C-alpha cells in the first residue's frame, strides 16, 4: 500500500534525523572538551621550579659548554639588601615599584586593574628577578646612566622615556600615564637597585651577554629543533605561553604572536635574544650553569625572532645610520649588507666592513 510506504519513509527519515543530531551532539561535546582542555592552567611556582629542575643538568658534568671559564668576578654588582629599603613613604614607593615590575600584567595587562595598555607580559619576564640578575637585563646601571642620548630616537632622553619605551615595544602596548604614581614607583625602585652605581661605571653582567659571533648565519631551522626539545614544554607548541588560571597574567610568557613583544623591541634583535637565552633559559640556567651551546642559543633566537609578531612603525628610529645596531633587521643601512644578513648574520663581515669605514674616515 502506498500510504504504508509513505509512513515507512517518514519513520526512516526521522531515524536519520535522530542519528545525525546524535553525531552533531557528539561532535559538539568533543569540541567543547577540546576547548576546555586548552583552558589556561594554574601552575604554582614550585611546579615551575620542579619543571625547571628537570631541564637543568649539572654543569660540572658537561664540559662542552665551556662554563669552567665562566667565573663571576668577586667585585661584580650585587642587588642591595632589602634592609637598605628605607621605612615610610620612600620605602613604600620602592616596594610598590618592585611589585609593578614583577606583576605588571595584573595592573596594566589586557585585564589590568589600573589601565589596559599592554600585552599581558611582566617587566620581570625579561628583567629577571626584578631586574637584579647578572646577564638578565638588570637595572643596575640604568638610573646612573640617565638622562642620556638615545641613538634610537636621536634625542637626549630622561629615564622615564626609556621605561615607557619598554611599554610600547616589549609590552607591545601604549604609553602609561607618566604623571601617575606607578611610573614614579618603578623609577624609585630602579633608583634604589642602582644606588651604589656611578655614572659610567663598567658593570659585569649588564644587559645581556654578547656571545661570540658564529662564522655563518644563525639558523632558524636548527633553532626550531632546540625549541621543540628545550623550550616548548613551558612556552607552548606555538610559543603562545601559558596563562594563569585567573587569565590575567602568564605563568609562562609568550615568545611570539600577538601577545608577545613587537618587532621594535630589544628582544627582536638576535644578539640580545641569544645572549639572554644562553644565560637564563631553559628557566633555571645561569651564567655559570648554561644549558645551551652558543650555537644552540643563536639558532633558537633566530627561530623565535623569525616567527610572526606585531609590527611597530620604526621609520623614525635610528635615523643616524652609523649608530644603527648591526642586528637591526630593518634597513636602510650605512653598509651594503641585506636586511636578512643584519637579522641573522653572518655578523663578522658586517663588523669588518664597519671597521674599514672607520679607518677610511680617519685617513681622510
Ligand atoms: C620582552 C622582554 C622585555 C620586557 C617584557 C620588558 N623589557 Fe625592558 N628591556 C628589554 C631589553 C632586551 C632591554 C635592553 C634593550 C636594548 O639594548 O635595546 C630593555 C631595556 C630596558 C630599560 C633600560 C635599561 C638600561 O640599563 O638602560 C628599562 C628601564 C626597561 N627596559 C624597563 C622595562 C619596564 C619598566 C618594563 C615593563 C613595563 C620592561 N622593561 C619590560 C626587554 C624587555
Ligand atoms: C621550565 C619552564 C621553561 C622552559 C623549559 C623555558 N622557559 Fe623561557 N621562560 C620561563 C619563564 C617562567 C619565564 C619568565 C621568567 C620570569 O618572569 O621570571 C621565561 C621567559 C623567557 C623569555 C623572556 C620573556 C618572553 O616571553 O619573551 C624568553 C625569550 C624565553 N623564556 C626563551 C626561552 C627559550 C628559548 C627556551 C628554550 C631554550 C626557554 N625559554 C625554556 C620558563 C621556561
Q: What integer pLDDT is reported at residue 361 of this predicted model? A: 77
273-290 pLDDT tens trace = 999 999 999 999 999 999
- 13 C-beta neighbours (distance < 10 Å), count: 10
Q: Is there a common fold for 87-207 and 220-363?
A: yes
pLDDT tier for residue 331 given thresholds of 50, 70 and 90? very high
Closest atom, ligand 2, to C-alpha of 301: 35
Closest CA to 275 of 327, 210, 213, 216: 210
User: Percentage of the chain with pLDDT > 70?
Assistant: 82
Q: Is there an atom of ligand 1 within 6 Å of 162 CB?
A: yes
- CA of 239 from ligand 2 middle (Å) equals 10
Q: State the CB neighbour count (10 A cutoff) for residue 59.
A: 18
Domain ranges of the chain: 1-29, 87-207, 220-363
Judged against a pLDDT cut of 60, whether residue 211 lies above it is answered with yes
Give residue 33's pLDDT: 45
Domain 87-207 class, CATH top level: mainly alpha
DSSP assignment letter at 199: T
Around Cβ 19, how many Cβ atoms within 10 Å? 10
Residue 3 has pLDDT above 50, yes or no: yes
Cell of 362: 680617519
Task: Give the angle 3-4-10 at the CA atoms, nearest 5°.
Answer: 90
Give the pTM: 0.88
Cα of 343 to ligand 2 centre, how many Å? 21
pLDDT tens-digit map of 302-320: 999 999 999 999 999 999 9
Quick check: 194 and 143 in contact, CB under 8 A? yes
| pLDDT level of residue 23 (50, 70, 90 thresholds) | low
How confident is the model over 138-174, as pLDDT tens digits?
A: 999 999 999 999 999 999 999 999 999 999 999 999 9
The rounded distance, in Å, linking the Cα atoms of 199 and 192 is 15
Least confidently predicted of 9-23, 104-118, 141-155, 303-317: 9-23
Class level of CATH domain 220-363:
mainly alpha
Q: What is the average pLDDT score of the chain?
A: 88
pLDDT digits (tens, 9 = 90+) for 26-79: 545 444 444 443 434 445 554 565 666 666 765 444 445 655 579 999 999 999
- Which one is predicted more confidently, 341 or 2? 341
Give the residue, out of 101, 120, 126, with the most ligand 1 atoms within 8 A of its beta carbon, to mutate for a pocket test.
Answer: 126
Alpha-carbon distance of 283 to 296, in angstroms, equals 15
Residue of 172, 283, 295 best suited for mutating to test ligand 2, as the one with most atoms within 8 Å of CB: 283
At 232-271, the pLDDT tens digits run 999 999 999 999 999 999 999 999 999 999 999 999 999 9
pLDDT for 50: 60
Amino acid at each position: 500500500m502506498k500510504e504504508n510506504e509513505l509512513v515507512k519513509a517518514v519513520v526512516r527519515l526521522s531515524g536519520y534525523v535522530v542519528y545525525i543530531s546524535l553525531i552533531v551532539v557528539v561532535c559538539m561535546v568533543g569540541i567543547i572538551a577540546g576547548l576546555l582542555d586548552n583552558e589556561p592552567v594554574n601552575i604554582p611556582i614550585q611546579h615551575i621550579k620542579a619543571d625547571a629542575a628537570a631541564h637543568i643538568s649539572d654543569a660540572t658534568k658537561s664540559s662542552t659548554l665551556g662554563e669552567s671559564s665562566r667565573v663571576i668576578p668577586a667585585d661584580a654588582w650585587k642587588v642591595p639588601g632589602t634592609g637598605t629599603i628605607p621605612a615610610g613613604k620612600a620605602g613604600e614607593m620602592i616596594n610598590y615599584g618592585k611589585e609593578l615590575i614583577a606583576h605588571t600584567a595584573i595592573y596594566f595587562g589586557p585585564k589590568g586593574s589600573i589601565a589596559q595598555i599592554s600585552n599581558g607580559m611582566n617587566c620581570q619576564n625579561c628583567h629577571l628577578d626584578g631586574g637584579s640578575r647578572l646577564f638578565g637585563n638588570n637595572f643596575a646601571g640604568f638610573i646612573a646612566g640617565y638622562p642620556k642620548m638615545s641613538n634610537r630616537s636621536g634625542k637626549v632622553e630622561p629615564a622615564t622615556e626609556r621605561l615607557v619605551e619598554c611599554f610600547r615595544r616589549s609590552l607591545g602596548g601604549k604609553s602609561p600615564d607618566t604623571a601617575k604614581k606607578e611610573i614614579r614607583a618603578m623609577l624609585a625602585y630602579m633608583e634604589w637597585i642602582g644606588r651604589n652605581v656611578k655614572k659610567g661605571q663598567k658593570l659585569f653582567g649588564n644587559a645581556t651577554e654578547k656571545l661570540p659571533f658564529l662564522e655563518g648565519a644563525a639558523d632558524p631551522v636548527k633553532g626550531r629543533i632546540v625549541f621543540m626539545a628545550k623550550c616548548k614544554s613551558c612556552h607552548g607548541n606555538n610559543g603562545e605561553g601559558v596563562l594563569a588560571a585567573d587569565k590575567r597574567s602568564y605563568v609562562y610568557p609568550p615568545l611570539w604572536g600577538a601577545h608577545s613583544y613587537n618587532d621594535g623591541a630589544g628582544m627582536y634583535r638576535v644578539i640580545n635574544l641569544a645572549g639572554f637565552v644562553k644565560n637564563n633559559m631553559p628557566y633555571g640556567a645561569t651564567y655559570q650553569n648554561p644549558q645551551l651551546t652558543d650555537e644552540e642559543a643563536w639558532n633558537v633566537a633566530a627561530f623565535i625572532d623569525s616567527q610572526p609578531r606585531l609590527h611597530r612603525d620604526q621609520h623614525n628610529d635610528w635615523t643616524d645610520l652609523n649608530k644603527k645596531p648591526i642586528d637591526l633587521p630593518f634597513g636602510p643601512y650605512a653598509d651594503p649588507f641585506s636586511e636578512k644578513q643584519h637579522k641573522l648574520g653572518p655578523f663578522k663581515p658586517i663588523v669588518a666592513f664597519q671597521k674599514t669605514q672607520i679607518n677610511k674616515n680617519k685617513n681622510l
